Amino acid sequence: MSPVSQGAPPETPRDPASTAETEESLWWLASAPLAWVLHLLATYLTAANYCAKAAEDASLTGVRLAIAGYTAVALLALVLLARRGWRRHRAGESLGPHDFDTRADRHRFLGFTLFLLSGAAILGVAFAALPAVFMETCR
């Protein structure tokens, strides 16, 4: 038996207590994609449902306003999530790839991942909303 590298590495002493992650913390990763999914579903279902019932060249104005509303809510939520992720990413002093097996780096890593996912979701939400800028009728 080798006497070295047994057990977990010691925590960096200057880790703030607030960096402790619990199992639930992983769920934050799902939040940004979830916001994107909900936005897509709401957009799609509203337009499809309305146009299935309406006349073929019915005006989309109501649907477009609804989509603008969903988009504003989704973007706001995603910006807040991105901010949360960014703060965690910058917690303490490390800027690196956050790949040490320490509490603090787990904290920063989860934060950075949340930040990147929020960015991708912001693009997804914006792209899904763009057709509503151009389409004026159900046709």
Partner 1 sequence: MRNRALTIAPLLFAGCEGVQSALAPAGRDAERIANLFWAMVVGGGVVWLIVMAVAVYGARAKHEHSEKLAGRFILWGGVVFPTVTITALLIGGLALLPPTLDLGPDEPRLAVVGEQFWWRARYRQGDQWVEVANELHLPTGRRTAMTLESPDVIHAFWVPSLGGKVDTIPGRTNHIAYEPTRAGTYRGACTEYCGQAHALMAFHVVAEEPAAFETWLAHQAEPATEPTDAEATRGAALFLEHGCGACHAVRGTEAAGVIGPDLTHVGSRAHLGGVLPNDTASLVRFIREPEAIKPDVRMPAFTTLSDAETAAIAHYLEGLR
Q: How far is the CB of 57 from partner 1 (least distance, A)?
A: 9
From the CB of 15, what's the least distance to partner 1, in Å? 24
**Residue 68 touches partner 1, criterion: CB under 8 A:** no
Adjacent-strand bridge partners of 137: 59
**Residue 55 interacts with partner 1 (CB under 8 A): yes or no:** no
Q: How far is the CB of 137 from partner 1 (least distance, A)?
A: 8
∠ Cα 91 97 102 (to 5°): 60
Q: Determine if residue 30 is left, alpha or beta; phi over 0 gives left, psi from -120 to 50 gives alpha, anything else beta.
A: alpha
Contact between 56 and partner 1 by CB under 8 A: the answer reads yes
Q: What's the distance, CA 27 to chain centroid?
A: 11
Q: Taking Cα atoms as reference points, which of 125, 113, 127 lies closest to residue 74? A: 125
- Residue 48 lies near partner 1 (rule: CB under 8 A): no
Contact residues for 14 (Cβ-Cβ < 8 A; gap 6+): 92
Residues 84-123 binding partner 1 (CB under 8 A) are 119, 123
Show the tokens assigned to 92: 């303490």
CB nearer to partner 1: give 37 or 123.
123
How many residues belong to the site for partner 1 (CB under 8 A)?
A: 13
Q: Is 130 an interacting residue with respect to partner 1 (CB under 8 A)?
A: yes
Residue ranges that bind partner 1, judged by CB under 8 A: 56, 119, 123, 126-127, 130-131, 133-137, 139
